[in-house]
């Protein structure tokens, strides 16, 4: 079941305040990272050398990142540089404007109908001819063999709503050049899927949740009861078997919501009742993330890495989602012309604050939280949504809304896997470093 909701005006705007704010926040963040990272990753500069090496020879990186002898010639002194921030950059045209997309509706079976923009006749294919270039570094194109090699004997769960499923389908298609998984789902419920890449013993799962916490549609249609302090056990009970969990959440919080805490209704979002306090969406969004992270932090047996994939903005222009709003652009925006603002910025910042909180908590307990910070790149891609090309034209059927929430496949959402691969590689380097440092110290102690 595919849901399309984004009942808010999301027109890109020009806003200098945001830049200033982000500059300040960015500065503060960088400072925070500079202060905290050396404690955990004392050889960061060294990791850059390794990373550079691994990026230059993509096929060998997976193994080389873990090969201990590469440390022999390394520069083990350093605390200076930071890896470049993947989230800040620009969409630039492919160097080869006729390059074929990594997969198409003909080569990949995993594309959900509603995301199959090529099949449903999207006339412009220019939206497939861009790549994301972070400021100050190159993000290599996705290398499926490398990803699968890094995932050998591992299990990865994607937790979230239809946008998370959108990402999973993109990843399956990107990996399909090497291998398709077999379906090993525990049931026929499309909300909880499990696949296995047999040659790699890699298990991948999609665990559906609308609001990350326990929730259900209330007796009033379209209004949800959210139990902000209760785990959504449909996913939290399953994570112990996984090495990686990626969580995300977004558009479902824009519905009218009743917030429950401590077993009673403490407020709502858009319920318009005299006896219930309006708390706005951010209250629910913040608490939902806090509770989801708590589930991870307090799990007895999950010891894997948690990624937060940040909020993916919708792009309705010239009207609300249910009032004829649409997304008809055919090119990305430039970052200088459009800044994240209003509700999108607020949702982004809210989850970021909860992420930092969980990260701090996790550091004390040795539980790793990592950020897949894709909001800004996606904000610049109003051209990446299906709009009316998620189905055949159906005359004037007003129930067929323009979809400016989900993402065409293939399409810009494919870069989420580029980000992920990059981060998993970095992770390998980080742990290899930690091991090397340990070995180095042991050696010094023995002298
Ligand atoms: C190690 O790094 C320091 C500081 O960046 C630099 O001065 C030194 O030349 C480097 N040594 C080697 C062997 O690369
Ligand atoms: C893929 O899309 C093309 C149009 O671009 C269409 O002709 C073709 O039938 C589609 N293939 C499948 C398998 O849906
Ligand atoms: C496959 O991976 C799992 C961990 O996900 C591991 O427990 C199991 O031993 C692996 N199987 C083989 C045949 O290596
Ligand atoms: C608010 O009022 C409605 C209608 O009187 C009632 O059904 C509901 O239980 C009340 N909610 C709370 C939280 O008191
Ligand atoms: C859709 O509506 C427009 C104007 O409202 C009309 O001209 C057109 O014929 C309608 N198309 C169909 C397929 O009903």
pLDDT 10s digits, 256-266: 999 999 999 99
> What is the distance in A from the centroid of ligand 4 to the CA of 287?
23
Q: At 288, is the pLDDT very low, low, confident or very high (cuts 50, 70, 90)?
A: very high
> What is the distance in A from the centroid of ligand 1 to the CA of 283?
48
Mean pLDDT of 199-211: 98
Domain span at residue 246 reads 108-420
Is the confidence at residue 444, as pLDDT, over 90? Answer: no
* CA-closest candidate to residue 311, choices 1, 2, 8: 8
- 274 inside domain: yes
Q: At 366, is the pLDDT very low, low, confident or very high (cuts 50, 70, 90)?
A: confident
- 62 inside domain: no
366 CB near ligand 5 (under 6 Å):
no
Q: Which secondary structure element, helix H or strand E, spans residue 58, and what is its range?
A: helix 58-64
Mean pLDDT of 402-427: 95
Secondary structure class of 112 (helix, strand, coil) = coil
Rounded CA separation 339/21 (Å): 11
Ligand nearest to the CA of 200: 3
Question: Kind of pairing, strands 264-269 and 257-261?
Answer: antiparallel
76 CB near ligand 1 (under 6 Å):
no
Is the confidence at residue 406, as pLDDT, over 90? Answer: yes
* Atom 14 of ligand 3, residue of closest alpha carbon: 153
pLDDT in tens, 146-192: 999 999 999 999 999 999 999 999 999 999 999 999 999 999 999 99
Rounded CA separation 294/285 (Å): 14
* Atom 10 of ligand 4, residue of closest alpha carbon: 275
Is the confidence at residue 40, as pLDDT, over 50? Answer: no
| CB proximity list for 395: less than 8 A, separation 6 or greater | none
88 vs 26, higher pLDDT: 88
Mean pLDDT of 361-388: 94
- 390 inside domain: yes
For a pLDDT cut of 90, what percent of the chain falls above it? 66
Query: Which of 107, 117, 119 to probe ligand 2 with, by most ligand atoms within 8 A of CB?
Result: 119
The rounded mean pLDDT for the chain is: 82
Rounded CA separation 270/285 (Å): 14
- 17 inside domain: no
- 404 inside domain: yes
Rounded CA separation 269/181 (Å): 41
> What is the distance in A from the centroid of ligand 2 to the CA of 122?
11
Contacts 24+ apart (CB under 8 A), 19-23: 19/339, 22/339
Ligand nearest to the CA of 204: 3
Mean pLDDT of 409-414: 98
Q: Are 170 and 312 in contact (CB under 8 A)?
A: no
- 271 inside domain: yes
Count of structural domains within the chain: 1
- 325 inside domain: yes
pLDDT given for residue 312 in this prediction: 97
- 292 inside domain: yes
pLDDT given for residue 397 in this prediction: 61
């Amino acid at each position: 079941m595919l849901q399309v909701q984004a009942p808010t005006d999301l027109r890109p705007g020009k806003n200098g305040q945001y830049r200033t704010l982000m500059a300040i926040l960015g500065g503060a963040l960088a400072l925070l990272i500079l202060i905290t990272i050396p404690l955990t990753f004392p050889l960061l500069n060294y990791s850059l050398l390794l990373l550079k090496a691994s990026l230059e020879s993509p096929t060998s990186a997976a193994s080389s990142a873990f090969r201990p002898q590469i440390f022999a010639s390394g520069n083990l002194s350093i605390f200076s540089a930071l890896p470049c921030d993947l989230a800040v950059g620009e969409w630039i045209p492919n160097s080869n404007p006729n390059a074929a997309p990594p997969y198409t509706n003909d080569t990949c079976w995993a594309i959900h109908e509603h995301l199959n923009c090529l099949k449903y006749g999207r006339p412009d294919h220019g939206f497939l001819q861009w790549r994301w270039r972070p400021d100050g570094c190159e993000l290599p194109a996705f290398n499926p063999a490398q990803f699968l090699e890094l995932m050998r004997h591992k299990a990865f769960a994607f937790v979230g709503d239809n946008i998370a499923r959108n990402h999973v389908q993109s990843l399956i298609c990107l990996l399909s050049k090497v291998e398709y998984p077999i379906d090993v789902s525990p049931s026929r419920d499309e909300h909880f899927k499990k696949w296995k890449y047999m040659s790699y013993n890699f298990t991948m799962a999609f665990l559906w949740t609308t609001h990350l916490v326990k929730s259900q549609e209330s007796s009033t249609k379209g209004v949800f009861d959210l139990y902000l302090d209760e785990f959504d056990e449909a996913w939290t009970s399953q994570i112990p078997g996984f090495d990686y969990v990626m969580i995300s959440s977004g558009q479902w919080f824009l519905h009218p919501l009743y917030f429950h805490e401590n077993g009673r209704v403490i407020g709502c979002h858009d319920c318009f009742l005299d006896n219930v306090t309006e708390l706005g969406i951010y209250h629910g969004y913040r608490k939902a993330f806090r509770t989801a992270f708590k589930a991870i932090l307090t799990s007895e047996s999950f010891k894997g890495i948690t990624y937060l994939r940040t909020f993916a903005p919708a792009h309705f222009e010239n009207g609300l989602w249910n009032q004829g709003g649409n997304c008809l652009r055919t090119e990305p925006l430039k970052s200088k012309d459009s800044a994240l603002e209003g509700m999108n910025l607020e949702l982004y910042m809210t989850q970021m604050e909860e992420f930092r909180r969980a990260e701090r908590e996790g550091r004390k307990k040795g539980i790793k939280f990592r950020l897949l910070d894709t909001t800004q790149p996606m904000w610049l891609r109003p051209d990446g949504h299906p709009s009316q090309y998620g189905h055949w034209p159906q005359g004037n059927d007003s129930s067929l809304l323009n979809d400016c929430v989900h993402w065409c496949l293939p399409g810009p959402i494919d870069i989420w896997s580029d980000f992920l691969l990059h981060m998993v590689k970095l992770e390998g380097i980080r742990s290899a470093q930690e091991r090397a440092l340990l070995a180095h110290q042991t050696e010094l102690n023995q002298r």
